[in-house]
Amino acid sequence: MKTTILTVDPTNTQLNNEIYAKAAEVINTGGLVAFPTETVYGLGANALDGTAVKKIYEAKGRPSDNPLIAHISDISELYALVKDISPVAQKLMKAFWPGPMTLVFKKKDIIPKETSGGLDTVAVRFPENRVAQHFIAACGVPIAAPSANTSGKPSPTRASHVEFDLDGKIDMIIDGGHCEFGLESTIVDVSGDVPCLLRPGSVTLEMLKEIAPDITVDKAVLGKLNEGERPKAPGMKYTHYSPDANVTIVRGSVDKTVKEINSLLEEHKNENCGVIATEETKDGYNTKNVLVIGSRKHPETIAANLFKMLRKCDYYGYKVVFVEGFPESEIGLAIMNRLKKAAGYNIIELN
């Protein structure tokens, strides 16, 4: 299959109408289109067409019990898809839609089992990214999309990442530049009596608590589950975000972290090692192989660059990677959730 790549100017909608019409034709004839959102690039198909949705699983090599998120371009499109929208769900929608938050509702029959991974619930998101909104609106149907990467690899935050993973396996990529937040959406289950955070993201737990003070947190958000335990977001059980390298997180005060990583570098001096560091620490390492992920003063920069840095580790062929750890408050909860998975929960705590 030839993958067509079309570049849009996110600031100029009028110019792009022809591109959205071409993308909509692909979707409406059962094809796959990768598109930018404010979180990561999504791999989209018509969420109401089970046969089309199946192609997403094939292209990504994704297990079929890992459901997708149905993306809409206006809140009015929600009512046809879900049952029982609770008052707290409405409050969360009002506070955070459009934006990087996904809500899980009881599904209506119109949602095929391929989209919901066989569950009786469906995850829905109204993205804020203008390119995503125009694309979905042009299609005239909800767009089922997981992240547009090969299953298990870091999520794509650039069209070039999608091309690297999926060129020749999907019909089209809409290149709308880099993704603002860079981590997949926050997922909140609102299908029960009390909302539950299933996956942390750029809408933080602290922000959610302002709207839903009684929100609970699924165990899979914080750490590794025991044998036999199941996360409520099926995707959280799979290995994720992994570069080819063996990744270790080192967490403690900045000084201790740098010292410990330098001694680990010495221990592994015969291997191709890399360090994922921050603006504040980048000059402290005894190696040239330092990737700067962002600034500790501006953790949102760390979130935005995280997947790009994990992909760079593969590009440079690192076999061993040491990455600095971060406090698990605010956006740090989502950053550490992704890093822990990338590291297979391999973490050295210094304090």
Residues near ligand AMP (CB under 6 A): 66-69, 104, 116, 119, 121-123, 146-147, 184, 187, 198, 232-236
N-to-C CA span, the chain:
52
Give me the residue whose beta carbon is nearest to Mg ion.
147
Which stretches does DSSP call E strand in 115-181? 121-125, 143-145, 172-175
Nearer to Mg ion, 251 or 311 (CB): 311
27 binds, among ligand AMP, Mg ion, none (CB under 5 to 8 A by kind): none
The site partner of 116 among ligand AMP, Mg ion, none (C-beta below 5 to 8 Å per kind) is ligand AMP
Least separation in angstroms between residue 101's CB and ligand AMP is 12
Toward Mg ion, which CB reaches closer, 67 or 274?
67
Write down the least CB distance from residue 169 to ligand AMP, Å.
Answer: 16
Half-sphere exposure at residue 182, Cβ-oriented, CA atoms within 13 angstroms: 20
Quick one: 111 or 265, whose CB is closer to ligand AMP? 111
Name the nearest CA neighbour of 123 among 145, 95, 102. Answer: 102
Token digits of residue 244? 């080819």
Which does residue 201 bind out of Mg ion, ligand AMP, none, counting CB within 5 to 8 angstroms by kind?
none
Residue nearest to ligand AMP (CB): 235
Token pair, residue 251, equals: 């967490």
> Of ligand AMP, Mg ion, none, which one sits near residue 234, judging by CB under 5 to 8 A according to partner kind?
ligand AMP
- Strands (DSSP E) contained in the chain are 4-7, 33-35, 42-46, 69-71, 82-83, 101-107, 121-125, 143-145, 172-175, 186-189, 196-199, 216-217, 246-251, 273-277, 290-292, 320-324, 347-349
Of 140, 125, 124, residue with least CA distance to 20:
140
Q: Rule CB under 5 A: which residues touch Mg ion? A: 146-147
CB of 108 to ligand AMP, least distance (A): 13
Alpha-carbon torsion, ordered 285, 291, 296, 298, to 10 deg: 160
How far apart, in Å, are the Cα atoms of 62 and each of 16, 117, 162? 31, 11, 15
Report the nearest approach of ligand AMP to the CB of residue 154 (Å). Answer: 11
| 225 vs 219: CA distance, rounded Å | 7
Q: Tokens standing for 59?
A: 């292209």
Q: Which does 16 bind (CB under 5 to 8 A by kind): ligand AMP, Mg ion, none?
A: none
Tell me the C-alpha distance between 148 and 100, whole Å.
Answer: 16
CB atoms within 10 A of CB 317: 10
In the bound complex, what is the minimum distance in angstroms from residue 172's beta carbon to ligand AMP?
19
Q: How far is the CB of 348 from ligand AMP (least distance, A)?
A: 27
Q: Which CB atom, from 71 or from 312, has the smaller least distance to ligand AMP?
A: 71
- Indicate the residue among 33 and 236 with the shorter CB distance to ligand AMP: 236
Binding partner of residue 66 among ligand AMP, Mg ion, none, CB under 5 to 8 Å per kind? ligand AMP
Residue pair 27/134 in contact (Cβ under 8 Å)? The answer is no
Using the minimum distance from each CB to Mg ion, give the nearer residue, 183 or 258.
Answer: 183
Please choose which of Mg ion, ligand AMP, none residue 187 contacts, taking the beta carbon within 5 to 8 angstroms, the exact cut-off set by kind.
ligand AMP
- For the bound state, the minimum distance from the C-beta of residue 147 to Mg ion, rounded and expressed in Å, comes to 3
